[in-house]
Chain A
């Protein structure tokens, strides 16, 4: 199993550009989530999904969109990048549907720089 994979590993954007961060898992996990990590702020939840076709907002959803058309994939879209979105983004998944009580498996992260 590859576990949780994220692409790209590193990206530079200009203000106003859009892009999609990819996240995929091959463990048949129903629960998936996106976090951003900034110095001194810990991990903050952006969006999460309890299964295909179901998504909801986390603590810091503004400026980001998600969709979940399959169990395996959970892409994160930046609609119009801003310097404040410079961060490291982690995708995570777990086997528990309806609640993130189980072990979270994190992807390796995407480092995003917005100029």
Chain B
């Protein structure tokens, strides 16, 4: 079952902050975050592991609440290059399942 992402789309002005949420109905071992530019392949941003270990990007942070089975991605002081569609992915039974995505548009 796919994790649920919110919001589905968001438009920001350059320099503003954004939060993208991801929730699952299943217990989570880890959460992945990827960004996809139009016409390109998804690119890795971050992995959050059960127990709090976090790997990833300098200017983008995330949280992982294991009990609530939720993760949030925080983009601060957004730049034009942050535009794209963000996907969270959850791992279970050897499978990585992605959400339906959040389209982020940054305008000057």
Contact = CB atoms under 8 A, between A and B. Distances in A.
Interface in B30-86: 30, 32, 34, 40-44, 47, 49
30 contacts: A33-B96, A35-B98, A40-B100, A42-B2, A43-B42, A43-B87, A44-B2, A45-B98, A48-B95, A50-B94, A56-B94, A59-B2, A90-B42, A98-B94, A99-B91, A99-B94, A100-B91, A100-B94, A100-B96, A101-B29, A102-B47, A103-B44, A103-B47, A104-B34, A104-B96, A106-B41, A106-B42, A106-B43, A107-B41, A108-B41
B6 interface: no
Nearest to B29: A101
Interface of A: 33, 35, 40-45, 48, 50, 56, 58-59, 90, 98-109
Nearest to A59: B97
Nearest to B5: A42
A103 B48 CA distance: 11
A48 B87 CA distance: 19
Contacts of B40: 108
Contacts of B99: 42
Contacts of A50: 94
A42 B32 contact: no
A43 B95 contact: no
A74 to B, nearest CB: 15
Contact of A42 (B41, B91, B98): B98
Given A42-B87, A101-B47, A58 B100 contact: no
A56 to B, nearest CB: 7
A42 B100 contact: yes
> Which 9 residue pairs across A and B have the least CB separation, nearest first?
A106-B41, A42-B100, A100-B96, A43-B98, A103-B44, A42-B98, A42-B101, A106-B42, A101-B30
Given A104-B32, A107-B41, A108-B41, A45 B47 contact: no
Contacts of B94: 48, 50, 56, 98-100
A102 B34 CA distance: 12
